[in-house]
Chain A
Amino acid sequence: MATVQATAQATGARKVKPNEQKIPLARVLGRWAFMWPILALNLIVIVIPSIAGLGIAFTEWSGYGQPEFIGLANFDRLMQDAVFFKSLSNNIVWTAIFLTIPIFMGLLGAYLLAGIKRGQMIFRVLYFIPFVLASVVNAQVWRFLLHHRVGIGPWLAELGITDILDVALFGKAETALYTVAFVDIWHFWGFLVVIYLAAMSAVDVELYEVARLDGASRFQQFRYVTLPSIRPTIVFTLLMILIWSATVFDYVYILTSGKPAHASEVMGTYLYETAFFRFDAGYAGAIGVVMTLWVALAVGGFVFLRRRGWDV
């Protein structure tokens, strides 16, 4: 409401330029009416709870009754919480994995696709399928295939290849996180192929012809023509991955729930457990603040680079 009135006042007081019709106040108010539903919904579901989310991090709160202000105590506790540090480091490992492997696969797939005439569409569709399927379904696909008693493992073992896939990959501390990440990569990489392919299709074909005349090999064409041309798209996907890696939840929760012994715990699952199973909402809020700081730093860094004139 305040915004609406302020805007109406600003509009009313504005100097009317000669060739610009003055729009009546009632009509301006009427125009803002188109925005009310979305603003109200966002205020109630996202803005107010987000502010509250920042607030509860400084309180002791079970979720019921009055939160008690305790200053930075939750953050002190975080600093001494081994499980939190395990989660945070798993998020960092996750980020490193996702900033490399899916990007490589996405670029490879897109570059090869851009180089063929027939069948581009069908490959694009096939690669994209895992991306549209639900996390619960994709989890089932790989829980089965990677199961040490029924899936690929026993089959390989019969061929004499043992101790690779015939072990409980989701259940072992050394492999749990990487196995979950593998499933999420399988679900995600096709999305990158499509995005990169769209960017590559917009590159001027003449650039490639010039490069070829100079005797550039395929890899050199990729390195000196394709990569620089689609850099803004790549940087954008890097930013998205940075954000998503902080908030990752579904695949970890569904496949391992952070087990065994927090070996595959990430901030998202730890926060969830803390808030909804242990009713330590204030402490969970502090984890949420850390995640938000991560996202803010990523977005801030992106904006900063752009301001500095980086073409990203």
Chain B
Amino acid sequence: MGRLNIFGSGRSQSTLPNYIILILLALFAALPILLLVSNSLKSTSEIAASPFSVPREFLWSNYGEAFDKGNYAVTIRNSAILTISTIAGSLTVAGLAAYALSRLKLKGSNVLSFYFLVGIGVPAQLFIIPLFFMWKQLSLVNTHVGLIIIYTALQSPFATYLLRSYMLSIPEEFVDAAKIDGASDWQVFRHIIAPLTGPGFLTAGLVIGLFTWNEFLFAVTFLPEKEFKPVATSLYAFQGRFSRDWGLTNAGSVIMMAPVLILFLALQRRFIEGLTQGGLKA
């Protein structure tokens, strides 16, 4: 994935046309987001008058108002609970499974790997209906635990797949030395494999966190009650309620976007690697 120039070093073909089109594409991708941010700092009347100009004066009060009216103090807390718990749960469950699949030579582990790939492909709409009524029976609807269990189940196959490839690249000698010293499978996992898989856990954790923060379908279904809603579904309701107040809804959207954007720009290599290698669903 390096900076390979496929046109080689020989007779140089001009790259100017490349840059022109690439810049147009970049504007197409990024300009709308820039406009969202710029229009989150204007009054609604200024937005209507000049939607594409820089804000006359930065109306930061949109953010305070959006934060209060959008109930962000509660919804950010809800999203944080869901995100952190799902990351912790998925990495634990997936770390154990990836270790078993990559290192312990279990019979049938090929079948399991295949199943995980199939599992990623099963449409959510097939199981969401029975799952909802099952969760209703178990009183898990409108609880964070209920949704965390679902998210963990949904994310752990992908995380297993990713972690497994990291674990397979650890040289066998590291493990052999410990085994000669009489370490159990658990000790090998705990003291050798897991620490050496650190970058893998970070990459998988970022992807799982991103998924959980952004997720809509399961959140809107399993947490209908206002006080439990994460940012995504409460922002959806907020956008509907204040649909004429563009400054306010733009600011509310930027609040949800900001942490993702900052983290992505800081750790873009890991995000891109995680989302393109095993990231079949995002």
Q: Is B truly associated with A?
A: yes
CA distance A117 to B11 in the complex (A): 15
CA distance A197 to B109 in the complex (A): 32
Which positions 251-282 of chain B face chain A at CB distance < 8 Å? 253, 256-257, 260-261, 264-265, 268, 271-272, 275-276, 280, 282
Main secondary structure of the interface of A (DSSP, over half): helix
- Closest residue of chain B to A269 (Cβ to Cβ) is B125
> What residues of chain B lie closer than 8 Å to A37, measured between beta carbons?
92-93, 96-97
> What residues of chain B lie closer than 8 Å to A134, measured between beta carbons?
213-214, 216, 232, 256-257, 260
The answer to whether residues A136 and B239 also contact, given A112-B21, A126-B29, A292-B123 and a CB cut-off of 8 A, is yes
CA distance A246 to B124 in the complex (A): 11
CA distance A140 to B246 in the complex (A): 9
Residue-by-residue, is A186-209 near B (CB-CB < 8 Å gives 1, otherwise 0)? Answer: 100011001101101101010011
Stretch at the interface among A52-60, A74-82, A160-168: A52-60
B6 within 8 A of A: yes
CA distance A312 to B136 in the complex (A): 43
Query: Chain B, interface size: which category?
Result: 35 or more
B217 within 8 A of A: yes
B210 within 8 A of A: yes
The answer to whether residues A132 and B32 also contact, given A34-B104, A37-B97, A276-B221 and a CB cut-off of 8 A, is no
User: What would 28 A/B residue contacts be, using CB atoms closer than 8 Å?
Assistant: A32-B100, A42-B119, A45-B154, A46-B153, A49-B127, A50-B122, A64-B133, A115-B6, A115-B7, A116-B5, A125-B272, A126-B26, A130-B33, A132-B261, A136-B235, A140-B250, A141-B253, A142-B32, A151-B51, A186-B28, A195-B276, A201-B4, A247-B123, A249-B125, A250-B216, A271-B129, A275-B129, A288-B126
A-side interface residues toward B, CB under 8 Å? 3, 7, 10-11, 27, 30-32, 34-35, 37-38, 41-42, 44-46, 48-50, 52-54, 56, 63-64, 105, 108-109, 112-117, 119-121, 123-137, 139-145, 149-152, 154-155, 186, 190-191, 194-195, 197-198, 200-201, 203, 205, 208-209, 212, 218, 226, 240, 243, 246-247, 249-250, 253-254, 267-268, 271-272, 275-276, 281, 284-285, 287-289, 291-292, 295, 299
